[in-house]
Structure 1
């Protein structure tokens, strides 16, 4: 009876606030609930609000509620459902001019894509978000959106193994958001991944802890800090201490139902028990890890298939639009002819023209596919020639990238042949380590060369050389 009364009270409580709170206030409640890990309330508030906004024709409220629900679903690894709610939000945002909400929409799409391993597509959405934020008012919500962009681009660059871009995002993060604990958690993670400067890891995690308490940060921030402390003690081979921190982070992730973090923690605990030679406990967590991992991977495969299918649908729409244009042009020409006989004859010719145009389009698609294959082959050849330090590398590069090479040499005639070869390596998205192997120098020497090149080209010191080269 008590439970029924509690649910009854909560239902009317949610109804009351969803009907009396503006979208901004609803957003504030959602943030508070998320930080506490109370995702049941996040869903209840926003689903009730969504219904209310639909009934009262409030597209801004509908878009916001859809985005909030999508955010919660992606946290639970329900990416396919999350993307559906984001599609609904996009429809509402077409009716209003709200750059801040458009930025958040792009961020949530990017978040789903990143979880699914579609890092480049995620970065495209994050770049769109930056464009929207340039025209949005300077509010706390929009600052949070920009911070989101920094953190996720940073993470995506790590997965894409782009060290220069990683360092650029790190500098921007520390400069623009010096009081955000997640910035320092991520810096600590960088040192941990390289297994170096463990004293610095301790320093940055301590700084993150102080800021998390000071800012009353989300539960996830505290879980992330505890996990990294566990990783630190694992590197030190202090497994009992590491286990304490993993056991501290696990209830947090279970409370907020962060699937990816739960899986990772199960795996860490399994490995730690294994190091402690506690085989029964290790097997217990291995079983938990395997079951949850299989479940989430199955959902991710469906979500990726859905995303790919949406891309295909968009391409099909573009083709159909082209066919429609051809048909309309032909139809207008037909209408200008007099007489039934002439019209019929023209219609027959129109069908022939349409069929011819379809063949042309099909041929163009085939040619494009062949061109893509040639480009892929050329890029593979270039990569091998670079690795082999072939004397014909730069000649082949000029053939594959004629416009880029012409523009580079005409705008910067002072560049030496060594400079041009180095820039060619950067254009091929080679890492510092790979460039070092091609040129027989250390990674440090490669970084120094990049620094000197930027000075020679009069580029800002904080600009990523790889980004500049790709945009030239």
Structure 2
């Protein structure tokens, strides 16, 4: 009896010690390596972004306690990557800066490649496509220093896919096709091909690629699975099968909410709004349009507040390059002076000829621009007339300077107020605005009056003329 009693005490003590060890997270270096690679990948595939962020923070702390530099840097980079996926770019840039500083004294091709990939992803998220491509191209150069061939090829394929996304956003189709030729077929690429066929109304081809993507369901991360569901919704929407489209959109929405992907959530709200609009369910359509508007305003504000972070980094990088390359700059200036003396004489002879060519080129560019502006203006008018939710996004793309100047004048301007300004800019009358927004003319006049006060315009200033300037 006494022996059994002591045995129970011994087992209880051992259980207590094991619990303390787990809670204290006493990880070895090999534990950290395994968790930061295998377990992080598993959590990412099931869409547990918050779980993987919490785990990485604990592993980062343990790496610092062990003075395990590789684990610490990998932790910074992993956190930056996952936070970027959650649109928490400010935190992502913070961890990238920490990793960047550590990598100045720690040479590792894989980590430096990943660092530049995630810088590129952050720039891409913020719409800084030029800076994004610079980072991705730098990552490609660094990836060739990775000794493991399989790892190197995986990194390169990932970068090519990210560049494909950027080129798609910039409508650079030749570059998109070039990246696609470099990539092995996967779920994300099948979805991209399906979307392209949907846009061209080739529904049979779109369905073929969507089924291909669906066949890879078990090998696909949670984020990509939500994109497949969304694309199936678009497919059924094009076929006017609105109930089926709604089912897929709601499944996609549930997936993106669980992961925490705010941009995808907003895009899905917009698509659901369009379905309810087609079904003439005005109450539900307005509900999801409101959800989209609120979330979009929130994301726009966050992105606007974040823009100074990458800009500061770019400026700092340029300053650093200037310090490191000052000797080469001086040599280049002297060499340039010598070459310039020789070249100027030759340039003088061709001056008039070059001037004529430039004038002709400018005239051609002006003609192209006029045609493009006319086409864009007509498209915007039609979107406005049909009260299409895509109107604001298209307008911002067409008139970025107008949008930015309004934000500088009134940073708290809402989407609805900006839409009113956009309609005035497109020369809509009060009567037309009332007609297409389903409100009274008096309501339009009241909105203009409140907006005048918000913008701080004097009483003698004509609101419409001020907008047109």
Q: CA deviation at 1:40?
A: 2.6
From the superposition, tell whether residues 387 and 323 of structure 1 become closer, same or farther in structure 2 (CA, over 3 Å): closer
Deviations 1:181-232 (A, max 9, x none): 112111112222x32321111111111111232x2x2111111111111111
Task: State the alpha-carbon separation in 2 of the partners of residues 134 and 144 from structure 1.
Answer: 11
TM-score normalised according to structure 2 size: 0.64
User: Deviation per CA, 1:97-134, whole angstroms, max 9, x where unpaired?
Assistant: 21111111111111111110111211111111111111
Deviation at 1:249, TM superposition (A): 0.5
Which residue pairs with 2:228 in the alignment? 225
Give, in whole Å, the separation in 1 of the partners of 2:277 and 2:298: 24
- 1:385 aligns to 2:360 (yes or no): no
Q: CA deviation at 1:95?
A: 2.1
- Answering whether residue 315 of structure 2 is matched by residue 312 of structure 1, we say yes
What secondary structure does 1:272 align onto? helix
Distance 1:95 1:295 in 2: 39
Q: Deviations over 1:132-169 (max 9, x none)?
A: 11111335554432222121111111111211111111
CA contact (8 A) 1:73 1:81 kept: yes
| Matching of residue 206 in structure 1 with residue 185 in structure 2 | no
Which consecutive residues of structure 2, in runs of 5 or more, have no partner in the other structure?
1-17, 330-356, 369-469
Deviation at 1:255, TM superposition (A): 0.7
Change (3 A) 1:17 1:274: farther
- 1:158 is matched with 168
In structure 2, do the counterparts of structure 1 residues 317 and 64 end up closer, same or farther at CA, with 3 Å as the change threshold?
closer
Q: Which residue of 2 aligns with 1:60?
A: 70
> Are the counterparts in 2 of residues 14 and 45 from structure 1 also a CA contact under 8 Å?
no
1:18 Cα offset (Å): 7.0
State the alpha-carbon separation in 2 of the partners of residues 19 and 280 from structure 1.
57
Equivalent residue, structure 1, for 2:196: 190
Structure 1 pair 136–276 and aligned structure 2 pair: CA distance change class (3 A): same
Query: Could you say which residue in structure 1 is the equivalent of 2:290?
Result: 287
Given the alignment, which residue of 253, 269, 273 partners 1:270? 273
User: What is the CA distance between 1:316 and its match in structure 2?
Assistant: 4.8
Equivalent residue number for residue 461 of structure 2:
none
Distance in 2 (CA, whole Å) between partners of 1:31 and 1:64 is 13
Which residue of 2 is the match for residue 47 of structure 1?
57
Q: What's the offset of the Cα at 1:384? A: 3.7
Q: Does 1:37 align with 2:47?
A: yes
1:256 to partner: Cα distance: 0.6
SS at match of 1:21: helix
Gaps of 5+ in 1: 1-7, 327-377, 390-472
Map Cα deviations across residues 361-412 of structure 1 (whole Å, 9 max, x no partner): xxxxxxxxxxxxxxxxx989735425659xxxxxxxxxxxxxxxxxxxxxxx
Inter-partner Cα distance in structure 2 for 1:66 and 1:18:
18
Aligned length, in residue pairs: 324
Shift in CA distance, 12/289, structure 1 to aligned 2, threshold 3 Å: farther
What is the alpha-carbon distance in structure 1 between the residues aligned to residue 314 and residue 360 of structure 2?
Answer: 29
Task: Give the C-alpha shift of residue 52 in structure 1.
Answer: 1.4
Q: In terms of mean alpha carbon deviation, does 107-116 or 85-94 score higher?
A: 85-94
What is the aligned partner in structure 1 of residue 353 from structure 2?
none
- Alpha-carbon separation, structure 2, partners of 1:159 and 1:83: 22
Select which of 131, 145, 152 maps to 1:135.
145
- Greater relative contact order (Cα < 8 A, sep 6+): 1
Q: TM-score, normalised by structure 1?
A: 0.63
Cα pair 2:32 2:59 within 8 Å, conserved: no
* Residues 233 and 249, structure 2, Cα contact 8 Å, conserved in 1: yes
Q: State the match for 1:123 in structure 2.
A: 133
Residues 18 and 45, structure 1, Cα contact 8 Å, conserved in 2 = no
Q: What is the RMSD of the two structures over their aligned residues, measured on CA atoms?
A: 2.9
Query: What SS does the aligned partner of 1:77 have?
Result: coil
Closer/same/farther in 2, CA of residues 11 and 155 from structure 1, 3 Å limit: farther
Alpha-carbon distance between aligned partners in 2 of 1:278 and 1:324, rounded to the nearest angstrom: 69
CA 1:266–1:62 in 2, change beyond 3 Å: closer, same or farther?
same
Inter-partner Cα distance in structure 2 for 1:145 and 1:278: 47
Please list the CA deviations of residues 41-81 of structure 1 after superposition, one character each: whole Å capped at 9, or x if unmatched: 21221111111111222221111111111112112211121
Give, in whole Å, the separation in 2 of the partners of 1:10 and 1:291: 45
TM-fit CA distance, 1:310: 2.5
